[in-house]
Amino acid sequence: MKAFVFPGQGAQFVGMGKDLYDNNEEARAMFEKANEILGFRITDLMFAGTDEDLRQTKVTQPAIFLHSVILAKSLGDEFKPDMVAGHSLGEFSALVAAGAMAFEDGLRLVAARAMAMQKACEQNPSTMAAVLALPDEKVEEICAEIPGVVVCANYNCPGQLVISGEVPAIEAACEKLLAAGAKRALKLKVGGGFHSPCMEPARAELAEAIAATDIKSPICPVYQNVDALPHTDPAEIKANLIAQLTAPVRWTQSVKNMIADGATEFVELGPGKVLQGLVMKIDRSMAVSGQQ
């Protein structure tokens, strides 16, 4: 069984999607439609901008979404997923690719999500840190001991977690994690503490937009970040999308559940190869590939 997976923020690179734009008429029309919806030429920044341009949350998120969704569309009949999943932002790409949401609606939501997250970051300074080579339970235990907001935000693969929260709490947690034997506990260059209670203002803002968006049953189960379980019910999908902003990305658990449900091959659609690497670390017996 084939699982298609979609990357999140951090996978972007200058030049992403240019081949699609140049060589595929339908892809070009979708990119131009996106320029119109967003009110600026995101294609200029994707194809010939700077790394700095692409690092702005309001650009990064729609850019990765566009690249992933248009890639899936360009596959035509070859896009026959038995299941899909996306890492954080990638969940929106997965839902659109699997037919649960219209392309235009997905893009508007992603743009609104990016702006709401940016605003939440400005209201309450927060950050994230990568933690390597400690069991999940140990990281959870140490986070729970630290005063202030610090939580596990991304369960990426065994021995690789990302924590998220208020800056002083993250710094205190990093010290304790290193003392407990972590190989690394390193603050990341991100705009804020995503997938933590620090994103509550963004969650509240986005909830209304998600509630108003038409979501249908997808063509296959979507394994959502919040609970790592397969969903096809539109009401459940909406509730999980809203919860996603302040809840952890359970990627390790999602991949394990997809494998338990019969996945034997994972195809990553979008920029970079991050998810292919994570799948291999979760289960070396899987066939992995990607298109970008």
Q: What is the pTM of this model?
A: 0.95
Q: Quote the pLDDT of residue 189.
A: 77
Q: Quote the pLDDT of residue 143.
A: 95
Instruction: Check: CB of residue 165 under 8 Å from CB of residue 199.
Output: no
- In one letter, which amino acid is 116? A
Three-class SS state of 47: helix
Q: Quote the pLDDT of residue 192.
A: 87
Q: Quote the pLDDT of residue 204.
A: 87
Q: Quote the pLDDT of residue 182.
A: 93
Catalytic residues, by residue number, are 88, 195
Q: Is 50 exposed, middle or buried (0-12, 13-18, 19+ CB in 10 A)?
A: exposed
Alpha carbon distance 246, 201 (integer Å): 10
Per-residue pLDDT band for 196 (boundaries 50, 70, 90) equals: very high
Instruction: Check: CB of residue 237 under 8 Å from CB of residue 95.
Output: yes
Alpha carbon distance 205, 119 (integer Å): 10
Fold for 2-122+197-291, please state it.
Malonyl-Coenzyme A Acyl Carrier Protein; domain 2 (3.40.366)
The mean pLDDT of the chain is 94
Question: CATH 3.40.366.10 residue ranges in the chain?
Answer: 2-122+197-291
Reference 271, options 79, 11, 42; nearest CA is 11
The proportion of the chain whose per-residue pLDDT surpasses 90, expressed as a percent, equals 87
113-127, 139-153, 154-168, 212-226: least confident range: 113-127
Q: Quote the pLDDT of residue 291.
A: 87
Q: Quote the pLDDT of residue 229.
A: 98
Fold for 126-187, please state it.
Alpha-Beta Plaits (3.30.70)
The mean pLDDT of 193-213, rounded to a whole number, is 92
Q: Is 280 exposed, middle or buried (0-12, 13-18, 19+ CB in 10 A)?
A: middle
Q: Quote the pLDDT of residue 103.
A: 97
The mean pLDDT of 44-71, rounded to a whole number, is 92
Q: Quote the pLDDT of residue 190.
A: 79
User: Is the pLDDT assigned to residue 191 strictly greater than 80?
Assistant: no
- Count Cβ atoms below 10 Å from residue 190 Cβ, excluding itself: 18
115-119, 179-183, 250-254, 277-281: least confident range: 115-119
Residue with tokens 């990553």: 268
Question: CATH 3.30.70.250 residue ranges in the chain?
Answer: 126-187
Q: Quote the pLDDT of residue 23.
A: 93
